[in-house]
Structure 1
Amino acid sequence: MSEGENRTLSAKLGRFAVVGVLNTVIDFATFTALIALSFAPLLANFLGWAVAVIFSFAVNSRWTFERAERFSLHRAFAKFAVSGSIISLGSSTLAVYLLPPLTGLFAAKLIGIVIGAILNFFAARWSIEDRIV
């Protein structure tokens, strides 16, 4: 039995939250740096998300979740990236596109990240552990 097997749901949620905070910092820092370099907001949003999703998968698949019996790195990453693109990239892109007149660009980005993070826990668990509940 390897370390990390039979981790409780609360332990997984705690670890996922730690990774999520780091993801938020990585995503937001990349986004901010690219905006400072005059990248278009939607492109900067996509690139910030891409950097964060690679970090997130690497850490969550080794530290947060227990790998499924039939874990395949390529298949799990594809599921993780596709679900992440629908959830976190989708929510942050919608926020960056729709909310700046109401909140400002950087607040819109943070709102999108928070909404995506809440939904992403279950998507990450599905892609790595091959289960939702």
Structure 2
Amino acid sequence: MSGAPRPRRSTGNKIVRFAIVGLANTGIDLASFFVLLELHVPPLPANIGAWFVAVVFSFVANGFWSFEREPTIRLRDAFLRFASLGAAISLGVSSLSIALLAATIGLWPAKIGGVIVAAILNFLAARWSIEGRLLK
């Protein structure tokens, strides 16, 4: 293959790829959460464990398939950005949702609601951490 640069993917293409990874990632998160609950891990620590498994998968899949990684951002730095934002957004939103809503609407609806809200915020966070930009 030639050394010519590959054309950049459109934002629409990135959103579709991000959504596909997000669906797989949600399955991994929910399955990990279920397994940890079955192992009698309390809900909030189970949420943290499931998040950690999911964030590793999400970084690899989004970093190498959904987005074009900015070569000036070291892989370690991109992962730290991604995980830090993921902790603040997805882990924070889903844990807050569980803590505030589980007693009212149930554990699983609270978990799933948090996942949905976090997915929207995570697109911008992933784009910034991997590509080094938010918009355009």
The yes-or-no answer on 1:116 pairing with 2:101 is no
* Structure with the greater alpha carbon radius of gyration: 2
- Supply the AA of the counterpart residue of 2:131: E
**What TM-score, normalized to structure 2?**
0.94
* 1:20 corresponding residue in structure 2: 22
Paired-residue identity, %: 48
Deviation, 1:71, is: 2.7
Secondary structure of 1:76's aligned partner: helix
* TM-score for the superposition, normalised by structure 1: 0.96
CA-based RMSD: 1.0
- Cα deviation, 1:47-95, whole Å, max 9, x if unaligned, reads 0000000000000000000111303110000000000100000000001
Gaps of 5+ in 2: none
CA distance in 2, matches of 1:116, 1:50: 15
Off by >2 Å, runs of 4+ in structure 1:
none
2:80 pairs with 1:94: no
**Residue in structure 1 matched with residue 85 of structure 2 by the alignment:** 83
* Post-superposition CA distance 1:13-46 (Å, at most 9, x none): 0000000001100000100111111101000000
1:66 to 68, 74, 78: 68
Query: Tell me, which stretches of 5 or more residues in structure 1 are unaligned?
Result: none
The answer for the alignment partner of 2:49 in structure 1 is 47
